[in-house]
Amino acid sequence: MGAPLAKDQEVDLKIDSLAYGGNGVARSNGFVVFVKRGLPGDTVRARVTKVKRNHAEALALEVVEPGAPRVEAPCQHYPECGGCKFQDLAYEAQVEAKHEQVGDALRRIGGIQDPPLEPIISAKSLFHYRNKLEYSFTQTLEGPASGFHLAGRWDAVFDVEFCWLTTDLGNAVRETVDTWARGDRLEAYDQETHTGYLRHLVLREGRNTGQLLVQLVTAKGERFDRDQFVEELRRFPEVRSIHWSVNETPAEITNLPTELLWGEEWIEEELCGLRFRVRPNAFLQTNTEMAEVLYGLAVEYAGLTGNETVYDLYCGTGTIGLAMASQALTVWGIEVSEESVACALENADLNEITNAAFYAGEVGQAVEELRDRAGLPDVVVVDPPRAGLSGKALRRIGRMEASRIVYVSCNPTTLASNVKELAKEWGYRLERVRAVDMFPHTPHIETVALLVRGDPSPASSL
Ligand SMILES: C[S@@+](CC[C@H](N)C(=O)[O-])C[C@H]1O[C@@H](n2cnc3c(N)ncnc32)[C@H](O)[C@@H]1O
């Protein structure tokens, strides 16, 4: 039987739930349709945009019958902005949907009928929670302005007036940079013609220290007055570190070598009672407040007694490993970004932690070398990017037979498939799992899972 829908057809659809990634899920005569801008509970008029063998995709055009628990979206740029997808969906419904998505992934992809899913932890702050914002420049009638991409448009950037995910300080510094750029008669870079100059502005804020790092990304050549730029930014006492990067490639990236224009090379952030150095290209969880909650959960799942050898794989600037160090015998981290490893080593020193070491390398390649140096681990913490563990990394970690794996995941679908593999090939059982909402109004989900080797103990199987 062919698909019951055709491309460009308009249909009324009742949205049942939210899929991972943020699209609504509906059924048309049993056929699954993923609906962009469809919120659970609503009936929407939608246009079919794609039909595949076992599902279709559609775009909601209007709400025919509202059912989703709605609130007023405070942001004037919602829903055009690509940053927030659910500002008008009541927060309780957002977290419920995320909790469901983790359970669904573990059942459907992980093959676990009844996953040991604990209640999701809601975010403490619904707005102003991000410690890092990356703006793209666009050319307006008044001159260059920094903004965000329109939802679903890589090629269109709008001028942001006020962002609800950063702080008042973040908004004020961005505005100051825009005013300076106009005064200096600079031009925004045009992604289509590859002309113009200003490309990106990155602002990172140590939310517990009040320190701010600025990175300006331009096209080739020094076409601005650096002293003037620094002077404008130094009006904010929080600004501690000002960098400049040149991007000569067409790619829209900010992860580039930087030249320090003024101040310290880094800023500091405080997490779990420890100080962390943050350089421009080093990874740091973008919600400081909830990172502390996430790490607290990882520490709890690790169940440390002080005698364990802990591997912190995909360790970034060493945050999780260092948060565990006081409760472990030794901590050993691997991370591919050399800049992050440099920060991790500095962070150990800064906090006078002497039982932790960090190495640069790809986990799949470097983890066996680490075993030769550190001995077999008792606890392995993994915190990979969205793609999850590669086949090689997973096999090599599985072969180490650590009694516990604490898996910190930013993608429940790859978490579920890795959990399945670790169970089938390496004898691990999913013992606890819990989502933490770090990113209200967006589809992102962070999850911590505890995998234990072997059969359940008699007590826990009761
Ligand atoms: C989700 S972040 C986690 C960082 C850290 N655990 C934290 O909480 O701040 C993932 C990290 O993995 C690193 N990474 C990505 N692929 C890698 C690989 N193949 N081997 C080692 N590290 C990798 C990235 O540079 C990034 O720092």
String of DSSP letters for 302-328: HT--S--EEEEES-TTTHHHHHHHTTS
> pLDDT category, 1, cuts 50, 70, 90?
low
- CATH 2.40.50.140 segments of the chain: 10-65
**410 counts as catalytic:** yes
Q: State how far the Cα of 19 lies from the Cα of 273, in Å rounded to an integer.
A: 36
Quote the tokens at residue 161: 């007036």
Q: How high is the pLDDT of residue 3?
A: 75
Q: Whose CA is nearest to atom 12 of ligand 1?
A: 314
- CATH 2.40.50.1070 segments of the chain: 132-267
Classify burial at 319, counting beta carbons within 10 Å of its beta carbon; exposed 0-12, middle 13-18, buried 19 or more.
Answer: buried
Residue 337 near ligand 1, beta carbon < 6 Å: yes
Q: Say if residue 296's pLDDT is above 80.
A: yes
Q: How high is the pLDDT of residue 460?
A: 41
- Cα 383 to averaged position of ligand 1 atoms, centre (Å): 6
- CATH 3.40.50.150 segments of the chain: 100-124+287-461
Q: Say if residue 202's pLDDT is above 60.
A: yes
- Cα 235 to averaged position of ligand 1 atoms, centre (Å): 35
- Cα 336 to averaged position of ligand 1 atoms, centre (Å): 7
Percent of the chain with pLDDT over 70: 98
Residue 382 near ligand 1, beta carbon < 6 Å: no
Q: How high is the pLDDT of residue 320?
A: 98
The residue to mutate among 331, 336, 343, 411, having the most atoms of ligand 1 within 8 angstroms of its beta carbon, is 336
Domain covering 100-124+287-461 in this structure, CATH number = 3.40.50.150
Classify burial at 246, counting beta carbons within 10 Å of its beta carbon; exposed 0-12, middle 13-18, buried 19 or more.
Answer: middle
Q: Whose CA is nearest to atom 13 of ligand 1?
A: 314
The residue to mutate among 284, 287, 320, 335, having the most atoms of ligand 1 within 8 angstroms of its beta carbon, is 335
Q: How high is the pLDDT of residue 328?
A: 98
For 35-101, give the DSSP string.
Answer: EET--TT-EEEEEEEEE-SSEEEEEEEEEEE--S-B-----TTTTTBSS-S-TTB-HHHHHHHHHHH
Q: Say if residue 68's pLDDT is above 70.
A: yes
- Cα 384 to averaged position of ligand 1 atoms, centre (Å): 5
> pLDDT category, 152, cuts 50, 70, 90?
confident
Residue 320 near ligand 1, beta carbon < 6 Å: yes
Class of domain 10-65: mainly beta
CB-based contacts of 366: which residues, under 8 Å, 6+ apart? Answer: 334, 359
| 165-199 pLDDT, tens digit each | 999 999 999 999 999 999 999 999 998 899 999 99
> pLDDT category, 154, cuts 50, 70, 90?
confident
Give the Å distances, CA to CA, from 152 to 47, 79, 149: 16, 11, 8
- Cα 207 to averaged position of ligand 1 atoms, centre (Å): 21
Class of domain 132-267: mainly beta
Residue 314 near ligand 1, beta carbon < 6 Å: yes
Q: Which of 75, 81, 163, 410 is catalytic?
A: 410
Q: Say if residue 461's pLDDT is above 80.
A: no
| 107-120 pLDDT, tens digit each | 999 999 999 999 99
Q: Once rounded to an integer, what is the mean pLDDT over residues 287-315?
A: 98
Q: Are 215 and 258 in contact (CB under 8 A)?
A: yes
Helix (H, G, I), strand (E, B) or coil at 205: strand
User: Exposure string (b/e) for 189-208, b if CB count within 10 Å is 16 or more?
Assistant: bebeeeebbbbbbbbbbbbb
Quote the mean pLDDT of the chain.
Answer: 95
